[in-house]
Amino acid sequence: MIYLDYNATTPLCDAAREAMLPYLGRHFGNPSSVHAAGREARAAVDDARDKLAALLHVKPHEIIFTSGGTESCNLAVFGLARSRSGRLPAVASEKAGHIISAKTEHHAVLNAVEHLERHEGFEVTWLNVSPDGIIDLDQLAAAIRPQTRLVSIMTANNETGVIQPLREISQICRERGVLLHSDMVQAFGKTAIDLSLVDAASFAAHKFYGPKGAGFLFLRGGLSIQPIMFGGAHENERRPGTENVAAIAAMPAAAEWTLRDREEEQRHEAKLRDELWTRISKSVPEAKQNGTNAPRLANTLNVSLLGLDSETLLIALDLEGVCASSGSACMVGSVVASHVLLAMGLPIERARSAVRFSLGKWTTADEIKATGDAVRKIVRRLQTRKSAYAVA
């Protein structure tokens, strides 16, 4: 099997697995318990918080453990918007505040913002993006108003790998006194991040070789946030529920392992990514690369193979032993074209024929060659079949 879907999830690294094992066995205590077993578990949670904070150059109390990227994004969007507004609207027609986000966000942000707009009286400005997926900074600056409670812009797109100009976005928000949240789920370990630029940022362990079902939200000290779940005083009353101790213990181990030789790994993955595109473009001249003129994650290649649909391509690739994706794994089963590519202004036919290849630490040159050969074989077969049907 050739695995080229690292943006969907990554394999668990040995360091993370080893960090988990004690808390899947002997050290099984509840970290809220006051006895020795509970204190052992609490120490593991506190140690993980300290290590992650040190890696990210923030303070331990600014780390809130969650179940993953979606919850972290939801907590940031709902929690900050509601906290800043101070109250929900008294009547349906009364506006609670104003939020700004981009049309290319992950659905963890899109759907949360849409809920606030439809059900809680918030006004929303959806920012446009260029044909390469970069937001319009002038539109952002012009959209901010006194009622603006929150701006939420992801650092790196999960489908195209396009990296937004976060420093410029941060400057615009800081000058106008508006909170900035960034979905950094795809960015961690793949590009340099600076949490001093944002007020909140979301992360998921399984995107950086950690376990699924664990993540965290960075929340700048001094900011209040309304919880979106209720039931206990965990995480300083910001996220109730018994902590997933084993997964939390694994996160700093995975993070440290992922960040090791990050720049060298980026160069390696970029070389392989470009080699894959060269092979595809030579054998399929009608192929189009999406987001190519923007800064991108080194590991991500989004390609439209015009005239073919992505579902058929992915099934054919799977039969050839290649794991790829049409975009967000969270949208599996959806028959609609990528909202990201449509927001970039691409024709619907191009959006529906897109395939995402995302590389990782274990991707090899031989796998890239084999994938290029598989794409060539599949496209020729499908085109021949399509021509035969047209004649018939």
Q: Using an 8 Å Cβ cutoff, are 156 and 186 in contact?
A: yes
pLDDT in tens, 296-328: 999 999 999 998 999 999 999 999 999 999 865
Give the residue-averaged pLDDT of 117-143: 97
> Which residues neighbour 308 within 8 Å (Cβ) at sequence distance 6 or greater?
353, 379, 382, 383, 386
Q: Does the pLDDT at position 73 exceed 60?
A: yes
How far is C-alpha 166 from the chain's CA centre? 15
Q: Does the pLDDT at position 91 exceed 60?
A: no
β-sheet with 287-289: strand ranges across: 287-289, 300-305, 354-358
Q: Using an 8 Å Cβ cutoff, are 136 and 129 in contact?
A: yes
Helix (H, G, I), strand (E, B) or coil at 264: helix
Query: Count of residues for the chain?
Result: 392
Of the candidates 282, 102, 123, the residue with the CA atom closest to the CA atom of residue 182: 102
Query: What percentage of the chain has pLDDT greater than the value 70?
Result: 93
Q: Which of 13, 173, 323, 330 is catalytic?
A: 330
pLDDT at 158: 97
Instruction: Output the CA–CA distances (angstroms, integers) from residue 317 to 187, 282, 294, 313, in the order listed.
Output: 26, 18, 27, 6
pLDDT at 60: 98
Instruction: Output the CA–CA distances (angstroms, integers) from residue 146 to 127, 143, 149, 251, in the order listed.
Output: 18, 10, 8, 39
pLDDT at 329: 53
pLDDT in tens, 19-51: 999 999 999 999 999 999 999 999 999 999 999
Q: Using an 8 Å Cβ cutoff, are 225 and 61 in contact?
A: no
pLDDT at 37: 95
Q: Does the pLDDT at position 383 exceed 60?
A: yes
Domains of the chain listed by start with CATH number? 2-6+262-391 (3.90.1150.10), 14-259 (3.40.640.10)
173 is catalytic: no
Confidence of residue 249 (pLDDT cuts 50, 70, 90): very high
pLDDT at 327: 65
Q: Does the pLDDT at position 390 exceed 80?
A: no
pLDDT at 386: 63
Confidence of residue 87 (pLDDT cuts 50, 70, 90): very low
Q: Does the pLDDT at position 332 exceed 60?
A: no
Q: Does the pLDDT at position 387 exceed 70?
A: no
In whole numbers, what is the pLDDT of the chain averaged over residues? 93
Give the residue-averaged pLDDT of 336-346: 94
Give the residue-averaged pLDDT of 141-148: 97
> Bridge partners of 124?
99
Give the residue-averaged pLDDT of 248-277: 97
Give the residue-averaged pLDDT of 220-246: 95
pLDDT at 90: 43
Decide which of 80 and 383 is more confident: 80
Confidence of residue 267 (pLDDT cuts 50, 70, 90): very high
Decide which of 382 and 190 is more confident: 190
Helix (H, G, I), strand (E, B) or coil at 57: coil
> Bridge partners of 201?
182, 218
Give first-to-last CA distance, the chain, whole Å: 36
Q: Does the pLDDT at position 135 exceed 60?
A: yes
